Amino acid sequence: MSSDQQISMNKIKISLDAMGGDHGVESVIPGAALALKKKPDIEFLLFGNEISIYRELEKFPDLKKKSIIHHTPHAISATDKPSDALRKGKNSSMRLAIDSVANGQASSVVSGGNTGALMAMAKIVLKVLPGIQRPAIASVIPSEKGRSVMLDLGANISCDSENLAQFAILGSVFARAVMKIERPTVGLLNVGSEQMKGNDVLRAADALLRSVSIPGDYQGFIEGDDITRGTVDVIVTDGFTGNIALKTAEGVGHFFKSIISEEFKRSFFSKIGYLINKCVFTRIKNRMDPREYNGGLFLGLKGICVKSHGGADAYAFSRAILVAANMVEQGFNDTVVREIEGFAEAEASLGISADGVV
C-alpha cells in the first residue's frame, strides 16, 4: 500500500449543514477551517446555498482544497416543526447532509440547525444501530473533576429500564472512545442514592445494571448535585429528567454570570476592581466556556450525527466537528454494536427479558 493510499484511507469525511444555526455559513465555514487546522485529515462535504458557501470559503484556501460544495435549494428554519421538516425538507441542506451519511459519502454529519428536525430526520434516514431500542442525545458537561457525559437529554420523554441500561452502554463507550477514560464510572440519576429510592423503572434499571456487566463501572444511583460534582463519568437518565436538569444548570450558570457582572458594574471602584482581576476572570470564563463542550451527540444511529448549539460561533462549531471526527476515528458505532450484542447475550444467559425482569 502506497503512502498516498494510506493517507486517503485515513481521511474522515464529514458533511456539514452550512445553513444551520443562527450564523449559518459565517460560523460553519470558519469553524470547519479551525477544525481542519487541528485535524488535517478531515474532508468536508458542504451542503447549502453555493453562493454563500463559496463567498465564505474564499477566505480559507486550505479548507477550500478539502471541501466539496453541494448546492441545496432549501434550508430548515428554527421554527419548522419536525413533522413539516420531514415532509417538506427533502431538498434542504440538513436533509441532504444526513442523506450523504446514509449513502456512505460521508461518515458523519454536523448541523447547528433545528434540533427536533435534525433528530427526526437522522432517526428516519440513518436508522438505529442493530440492537439499539432508542437513540439518545448525549452531551459532555464540565464538572469539578473535569468533565462527564450525560444522556438522554431529551430524545425520549419516558424510558423503560432496558432503554436506560442501553444509554449506560452508549455513554460508557463514548467516555472510553472519545474522552479516553479507560474504565468510566456510571451512575443513574435519582432522588437519593439508596437502592429503594425512585420509581419502578429506576429500580429495575439499577438491578439490571448490577447483574449484567457494561463497558463501565456501574456505581448505582446518583443525585442532582453529583452531576457537576463529577461523581461519575457517565450520567444516565431519561430524556425528560435530563432535559430539565441540563436546562436548570444552564439557568443557574446564567444567573451567576449576571449577578457577577451586575455587581462589578455597580460603581467606579468595582469597575476598576474588575480590570485589576481581569486575567482571573478570563481564566474562570475559560474553565466554564460552554463552547468547549458544544455538541449534542445523537447516539445509537447508523452514522455519527452531532448537533451544534444554534448560537455557536466558529470556535464552538469547530469543537462539534472535532467530536464527530473523534467518534468516527475511534470506531464508536462498531464498538457500540459489539457491546450491545454482548449485553443482550449476557441478559439472555441470565434469563433476563428485554424489560429487565428476571
Judged by the rule CB under 8 A, the positions of this chain that interact with a second copy are 142-144, 154, 157-158, 189, 191, 198-199, 223-229, 239-241, 243-256, 258-260, 263-264, 266, 270, 273-274, 276-277, 280, 283-284, 287-288
User: Residue 62 or 262: which CB sits closer to a second copy?
Assistant: 262
User: Residue 17 or 152: which CB sits closer to a second copy?
Assistant: 152
**Region of residue 154 (left: phi > 0; alpha: psi -120 to 50; beta: else):** left
Shortest reach from residue 158's CB to a second copy, in Å: 6
User: Residue 48 or 154: which CB sits closer to a second copy?
Assistant: 154
Half-sphere exposure of 232 (CA within 13 A, CB side): 28
Shortest reach from residue 352's CB to a second copy, in Å: 25
Shortest reach from residue 77's CB to a second copy, in Å: 16
User: Residue 28 or 118: which CB sits closer to a second copy?
Assistant: 118
Shortest reach from residue 128's CB to a second copy, in Å: 21
3-state secondary structure the chain: CCHHHHHHHHCEEEEEECCCCCCCHHHHHHHHHHHHHHCCCEEEEEEECHHHHHHHHCCCHHHHHCEEEEECCECCCCCCCHHHHHHHCCCEHHHHHHHHHHCCCCCEEEECCCHHHHHHHHHHHHCECCCCCCCEEEEEEEECCEEEEEECCCCCCCCCHHHHHHHHHHHHHHHHHCCCCCCCEEEEECCCCCCCCCCHHHHHHHHHHHHCCCCCEEEEEECCCHHHHCCCCEEECCHHHHHHHHHHHHHHHHHHHHHHHHHHCCCHHHHHHHHHCHHHHHHHHHHHCHHHHCCEEEECECCEEEECCCCCCHHHHHHHHHHHHHHHHCCHHHHHHHHHHHHHHHHHHCCCCCCCCC
Shortest reach from residue 21's CB to a second copy, in Å: 19
User: Residue 241 or 333: which CB sits closer to a second copy?
Assistant: 241
User: Residue 224 or 342: which CB sits closer to a second copy?
Assistant: 224
Amino acid at 348: A
User: Residue 11 or 257: which CB sits closer to a second copy?
Assistant: 257
Amino acid at 134: R
Shortest reach from residue 263's CB to a second copy, in Å: 5
User: Residue 25 or 227: which CB sits closer to a second copy?
Assistant: 227
Shortest reach from residue 210's CB to a second copy, in Å: 21
Shortest reach from residue 318's CB to a second copy, in Å: 24
